Amino acid sequence: NTQVLFNSVPVGEPTETDFKVVTVAINPQSHLQENFLLIKNLWISLDPYMRGRMRNPEKGSYSSAFELGKPLTAGAVGEVIQSNSKLYNVGDVVLGHFDWANYTVAHEKAIQQKIDQSKYKFPLEAWLGLLGMPSLTAYYGLVHIGKPKAGETLYVSAAAGAVGQVVGQIGKKLGLRVVGSAGTDEKVKYLTETLKFDAAFNYKNGDFKENLKKFTPSGIDIYFENVGGEQLEAVLDLMNENGRIPVCGMISQYNGAAYGVKNLFNVIGKRLLLQGFIVGDHYNIFPEFLNWMMENTSDGSFFYETTISEGIENAPKAFIGLLKGENTGKQLIKNI
């Protein structure tokens, strides 16, 4: 069983030495404790929040720190190989929170749901992306916090990522003018040509604020915040009165940089709403979200890009790449 262990707390950007790939014996015949299962991972999701979990446990946060010397964990889809649980049978395909590994011995509580493959004709990995946590994040943040009205302007940062690509497309379906930014020209092309954003630009080229201003001539009504720092500062100056900012993520700060935003006073004069949220608190709207996705994706007009790395041993490299923008859309690991 190949596993990826949390080896050391990164200083700044994570490096491969912060992870340790090991192979340990696994005996599928061994006795499982009551309510435990042996699961073979099929797909593993890599997500930016994991950087926050690679910390010293004394530092508090909304999600627990990974344990040094233990496998990192992730949202994953797997198949039950052995079961000592009354809830799940051998052969069930399940969505849950499993190890970065070929196999996980998991308590049944680590399972979120059984995937009914006869009811939903989507590939299994969709439960980690299009129909999973990142899209629920996009839907909750934009619809429930952003409260969009047709004709308004939406700006989304990290727009070609797992969450951003869905935010923009939901925005288009709801009649918004959608502007996005991303870190490569290929990603910008994906946003304008495939996803039909009204405008997109490479935030690494030229003066960020000038570019954003050019593409949002009527100002910004909703900023879906994925990046933080200098982008947030520029956006605050361009927000319209009564604008909404669903604060989803601040990836520019995750490796330790703490940018001091200097113009927060805009929040007062412009009567802005800045609302942070954690998707895990909002699974009560999952049925509503799933209905919306079913209604709006079945005609083929909704796209979902993924970047797939094969093999558990390549997860550290893929994760390091995710934080640097090497992924387009959802970063996944396929267990081979």
Binding residues vs ligand NDP (CB under 6 A):
47-49, 134, 137, 158, 160-164, 182-184, 187, 226-227, 248-249, 251-252, 277-279, 322-323, 325, 327
Judged by beta carbon, residue 297 or residue 327, the one nearer ligand NDP is 327
Judged by beta carbon, residue 205 or residue 263, the one nearer ligand NDP is 205
Judged by beta carbon, residue 111 or residue 322, the one nearer ligand NDP is 322
Residue type, 50: M
Judged by beta carbon, residue 47 or residue 221, the one nearer ligand NDP is 47
CB 144 → ligand NDP: shortest distance, Å? 12
CB 321 → ligand NDP: shortest distance, Å? 8
CB 203 → ligand NDP: shortest distance, Å? 6
When CB distances to ligand NDP are compared, the closest residue is 161
Judged by beta carbon, residue 148 or residue 161, the one nearer ligand NDP is 161
Mapping DSSP to helix (H, G, I), strand (E, B) and coil, where does residue 172 land? helix
Question: Sign of dihedral through CA atoms 38, 43, 49, 52?
Answer: positive
- How far, in Å, are 7, 116, 276, 328 from residue 88 at the CA level? 33, 12, 35, 34
- Give pairs for 267-273: CB < 8 Å, separation 24+: 267/236, 270/239, 270/240, 270/241, 270/242, 270/243, 271/241, 271/242, 272/236, 272/239, 272/242, 272/243, 272/244, 272/245, 273/145, 273/242, 273/243, 273/244, 273/245
CB 161 → ligand NDP: shortest distance, Å? 2
Rounded CA-CA distance 120/46 in Å is 23
CB 172 → ligand NDP: shortest distance, Å? 17
